[in-house]
Amino acid sequence: MFKFKKKNTLLNKLLFVLLFLVVIVLLAFVIFSKIYLSAVDEKDDNPIEFVVTDNLSGYVAAEKLEDEGLIRKAFVLKLYLKLHPNIEFKKGTYVLTKSMDIGEITSILSNPSKSKENEPLRITFIEGKRLTDYAKVIADALNKNKSEENKITSDEIIKYIDSKEFVDKQIQKYDFITDVVYDEHIYHPLEGYLFPDTYEFNQEATLDDIIDKLLSTMGKKLEVYKDDLSVAEYTIHEMLTLASIIELEGSTSDDRAGVAGVFYNRLKTGEPLGSDVTTYYGSKKDFSRDLSKANLKDCNGYNTRAESSCPILGLPVGPICSPSLASINATIEPEEHDYYFFVADKNKKTYFSKTYSEHVSTVAKLKKDGLWYEY
């Protein structure tokens, strides 16, 4: 019995030592993984382009990744690839960062859809902006990967979009665009018809592709209101014109439908809209500059404040920006009331008045209470 216990004790000691060694190995592996498989710098998200060519093997890529500081040690990635034989780096230009670990890096490099060549061209068009603003956004997007001699300017884009040949094609293609856009007083025929949103295009997208997407999206948005528009007092062009005014006048308001109601009341009674935003557009100024006395008297198709010199008693000749769906909806479904004036405070709360004297009193009170909105 004594000998049996001694052997059992020895066996237990051997098992303990073995278990201890296993734990040490596992712990070493965890530490090793933490150090060498983790990101080089978790806080560094600066993009680094990494090119995989046809003849760039995984082992060669490992050396290059280490040289560019994207991984800690090349031999670790080589070992990782040895343990994961199904991973194969694909040709392309990829965007990596030092905050990526080896697993993330290999996942990207082995997925050709992640390469810049196959990455979608994403462009955001903000509501309330003019066609001239959109031309700059498009130019920046199209010129991103082009050489200097192949770049297109925003002025060239505007000239192309404004051309009769281009506009004629859009009139033939979209029934919501009519030849009313050819009014001689309109600055840009397709102003207000380009629907603001974030779009994705392929890298080979052309200017025609981009404009077509914005126009077709506007068509789809208007299709929802087809029945309302068919019986509306105003044409689609006029509705988009009013929606563009509401977009800018109501951008600081919490009640666009109420704002729309004010403009409809003014239109019904034949009073000028008296909208600063139309005067800004007519004078071709942005909101960073104040309107001058000359701007207020300027005769053009947009200035709804030029009461004495050349009054516009209805809507301006065309849209002054690209309206959002919220402003289009407010135009089609305005709030019915008997107000003719409105003002919004710095918290976007809107105050409506029936008379000008009431309106002036409201403005004075907002200024006194420190609630006046400053552009």
Q: What integer pLDDT is reported at residue 82 of this predicted model? A: 87
What is the mean pLDDT of the segment spanning 26-48? 74
29 vs 20: CA distance, rounded Å: 14
Domain ranges of the chain: 2-114, 124-337
Q: What integer pLDDT is reported at residue 8 of this predicted model? A: 67
Percentage of residues in the chain having pLDDT higher than 90 = 50
Q: What integer pLDDT is reported at residue 332 of this predicted model? A: 95
Q: What integer pLDDT is reported at residue 32 of this predicted model? A: 61
What is the mean pLDDT of the segment spanning 290-313? 85
Architecture, CATH, for domain 2-114: 2-Layer Sandwich (3.30)
Q: Of 27-41, 233-247, 253-267, 277-291, where does the model show the most confidence?
A: 233-247
Residues 117-173 have pLDDT tens digits of 677 889 999 999 999 999 999 999 999 877 888 899 999 999 999 999 999 999 999
**Comparing 373 with 56, which gets the higher pLDDT?**
56
Q: How confident is the model at residue 218 (pLDDT cuts 50, 70, 90)?
A: very high
What is the mean pLDDT of the segment spanning 294-317? 86
Task: Please check whether residue 207 is in contact with residue 142, taking contact to mean a CB–CB distance below 8 angstroms.
Answer: yes
Q: Is the dihedral of CA 123, 127, 129, 130 positive or negative?
A: positive
Q: Is 309 helix (H, G, I), strand (E, B) or coil?
A: coil
Mean residue pLDDT of the chain comes to: 88
Q: Which amino acid makes up residue 268?
A: K
The DSSP secondary-structure symbol of 123 reads: E
Residues 88-111 have pLDDT tens digits of 898 888 889 999 998 899 999 988
**CB under 8 Å to 167, separation ≥6 — which residues?**
161, 177, 181, 182, 189, 190
**Token output for 46:** 């600066």
Closest CA to 242 of 289, 277, 215, 212: 277
What residues form DSSP beta bridges with 200? Answer: 122
**Comparing 343 with 14, which gets the higher pLDDT?**
343
Q: What integer pLDDT is reported at residue 37 of this predicted model? A: 76
Closest CA to 320 of 132, 163, 157, 60: 132
Q: What integer pLDDT is reported at residue 146 of this predicted model? A: 79
Closest CA to 251 of 227, 277, 213, 232: 277
Predicted confidence (pLDDT) at residue 19 exceeds the cutoff of 60:
yes
CB neighbours of residue 1 within 10 Å:
5
Q: Is 94 helix (H, G, I), strand (E, B) or coil?
A: strand
